A and B are shown apart, each in its own frame.
Chain A
Amino acid sequence: MTATIERLPDVASETHIAAGPRPRRVPVVLLYVALALFAVATLLPFFWVISGSLRSLDEIRADPGAWLPTAPTLDNFARLFSKENFAGYLFNSVAVAIMVVLGNILAAAAAGYALGKLHFAGKKLAFAAVMASLMVPFTAVFVPQFVVTVNLGLIDTLAGIALPSLALPISIFIMRQYASSIPDELLEAARMDGAGEFRLFFTIFLPLSGPAVATVTIMSFLNSWNNFIWPLIVAQSSSTYTLPVGLAATSQASANVTDYGLVLAGAIVVMLPVLVLFLFLQRYFVQGIAASGLK
């Protein structure tokens, strides 16, 4: 992951590659068309989800392949919260997400600050540990993680779901990257004034790290919100299910007739917060990915 880009001298301030000497009009229009077609293809499944969630079970049974609802209804959404425990799943997902995000902000900021700004014994070791936790696959550790969780008495608890994700390596990368980019002089000056490291961290570093913290928030929120396998394993009863697990349970719950409208409505509830968040904060998100990936 130590990819670096060598910057050639005279980097232009514009950020796009010149298309070349051929006339630009035709290719650009084609490009828009191609992109639009592709966008439609990408969005088709989403369209299905929305369309299906507005159809009643009778309608789906009558004409499963129809594209648009003939009698749109919000009934499925209502049933999610009355018949299924979606309010509970939503609460659990939010609770876990809050734990994960707060943990990441604190733990990653602290670790990132240390790795990015301090020089200390064992720094390389710490860095290797962060790298290792990124490379070790989930399938390699989830069995012992499950055993640890059982022995800690955290099975079937929200804390048990949240704990392993409290200090994601990607968050640490982002914070470290940001820390590195802060001029040393700022901190030197404060040190010479006698400020201790903790004070530096809280009074200078954290307030400055707004954008990075925003990025860490989004990344860790995403990680937590869409996590499926681990909550599936840890939760033993439906009162502990998070939204993805609850959605999967709902889709398999009924005896003989899959209630597609209900499940798709559930899917919307799960997807909507993330999409809205992304829509508004995508700039930070892109910056975050770029910053972490190209250090």
Chain B
Amino acid sequence: MTALRTSTAPNTSGVPRKRRPRGVRTSVIAWIFLAPFAIVFLTYTAIPALAAIGFSLTDLQGRDLRNPFNVDFIAIDNYVRLFADARFIRDIGNTLLFVVVGVPLTMALGFALALALNSGIRRLRGVFRTIFFAPVVTNIVAIALIWQYAFNNDGTVNNVLANLGFAGPNWLDDTNTAMPIVILLGIWRNFGTAMLLFLAGLQAVPEDVQEAAALDGAGWWSRLWHITLPLLLPTILLISVLLTVFYLQVFDEPYLLTDGGPLGSTESVALYTYKQFGFGNYGISSAASVVTLVLVAVVSVVQFRLLRPRT
């Protein structure tokens, strides 16, 4: 490795010293570096996104796959059908419920744990971190199976409740309890991510301001509310957007736990999309995904507006 030269080194190329390398040659090189990403992006993100919009305006069926261009253009028919379908509307409602309940709870839990791990717990921090993050990295198929096992009418949870003298409901088959269980699974799976992100954010909150406030007589809660949280606003925004985008596309939990039941009370928009795909109704499936895309965009923008740090 060459020795570090100072900026007073002789300038041999004749180019003004402070100008950064820019220009056609650098741009070409930069784009060569970007090429692998660009190819993947075009092939698997940009073109599919545009194609999805395109497909959604046709009645593309599975059998047309080899000739995707020989289909009928039906404009917004699919969207009309979607929004006239009570089932789709219900699924939007289910998905929004999942988000509105799931995101705050996940964040609250993650935040509480991050606070706990960050303040005064010296030993075992790594151990706890691993334990709480484990649900995030494990395989959802197996976990869903365990949850089915546990929440079955004759399963573990009801057995325990019975021993305590209570009769538990048929968790996964009762429309009142099925969705809460699905949400619970989502929270269990993801609170670890929220916790880690909050931990990272908390590490940037300086201690001296806290101490100054404490010396001034501010209590714990007051310090949390008036100092810590405002400083954490960017982190909160980030986690909120991430979780919302993720939860809006919830698929694994309803698919594996209840397959959208009972009576479709846990069916999400993503699950609906997948089922239409399975029937070969690619036009409708694409339209449903475009609706998801719009939902994601709208919700993200709204959150940015609401939670943007006002500095």
Contacts and interface: CB of A to CB of B under 8 A. Distances in A.
User: Do chains A and B make direct contact within the complex (CB under 8 angstroms)?
Assistant: yes
Interface of A: 1, 3-8, 10-12, 14-22, 24, 27-28, 31-32, 34-35, 38-39, 42-43, 45-46, 48-49, 52, 64-65, 103, 106-108, 110-111, 113-115, 118-123, 126, 129-130, 132-133, 135-148, 150-151, 163-164, 166-167, 172, 185-186, 189-193, 196-198, 201, 204, 222, 226, 228-229, 233, 243-244, 247-248, 251, 260, 263-264, 266-268, 270-271, 274-275, 278-279, 282, 286, 289-290, 293-294
Contacts of B9: 189, 192
A229 B251 contact: yes
A10 B206 CA distance: 8
Contact of B128 (A6, A39, A166, A260): A39
B142 interface: yes
12 contacts: A7-B204, A11-B208, A48-B146, A64-B154, A120-B30, A166-B36, A189-B4, A190-B2, A192-B9, A197-B33, A222-B137, A293-B201
Interface in B283-307: 285-286, 288-290, 292-293, 296-297, 300
A226 B139 contact: yes
A293 to B, nearest CB: 5
B94 interface: no
Given A65-B159, A133-B45, A8 B150 contact: no
Which among A17, A135, A196 has the greatest number of chain B C-beta atoms within 10 A? A17
Interface of B: 1-5, 7, 9, 12-13, 20-22, 26-27, 29-31, 33-38, 40-41, 43-49, 51-52, 55, 65-66, 68, 113, 116-121, 124, 126, 128-135, 137-143, 145-147, 149-150, 154-156, 159, 188, 193, 196-197, 199-211, 214, 219-220, 223, 228, 231, 234-235, 237-238, 241, 245, 248-249, 251-252, 256, 269-270, 273-274, 277, 282, 285-286, 288-290, 292-293, 296-297, 300, 309, 311
Nearest to A134: B245
B13 A192 contact: yes
A229 B273 CA distance: 12
Contact of A143 (B7, B139, B214, B289): B289
A167 B40 contact: yes
B101 to A, nearest CB: 19
Given A28-B120, A139-B249, A226-B137, A1 B146 contact: no
Contact of A65 (B128, B156, B220): B156
Nearest to B238: A3
A53 B234 CA distance: 43
A144 B251 contact: no
A192 B12 contact: yes
Contacts of B66: 150-151
A107 B44 CA distance: 15
A167 B42 CA distance: 11
Contacts of A20: 214, 219-220, 223
A198 B29 contact: yes
Contacts of A193: 2
A268 B256 CA distance: 18
A282 B126 contact: yes
A106 B140 CA distance: 29
Nearest to A246: B141
Given A31-B116, A141-B44, A260-B149, A293 B289 contact: no
B157 to A, nearest CB: 10
Given A148-B48, A247-B142, A293-B200, A16 B207 contact: yes
B34 A110 contact: yes
Contact of A7 (B119, B150, B206, B296): B206
Contacts of B138: 46, 226, 271, 274-275
Q: Which 9 A-B pairs have the closest CB atoms?
A: A267-B142, A290-B200, A3-B234, A144-B48, A107-B36, A144-B51, A120-B30, A120-B27, A141-B48
Given A278-B130, A289-B196, 16 more contacts: A3-B235, A7-B206, A20-B223, A43-B131, A108-B37, A118-B30, A130-B37, A130-B41, A186-B4, A192-B9, A196-B29, A266-B142, A271-B139, A286-B129, A294-B200, A294-B235
B238 A293 contact: yes
B141 A247 contact: yes
B65 A150 contact: yes
A114 B27 CA distance: 9
Contacts of B36: 103, 106-107, 110-111, 166-167
Contact of B214 (A6, A18, A144): A18
A77 B245 CA distance: 37
Given A17-B207, A121-B27, A164-B40, A132 B128 contact: no
A17 B210 contact: yes
A139 B135 CA distance: 23
Contact of B289 (A38, A132, A142, A189): A142
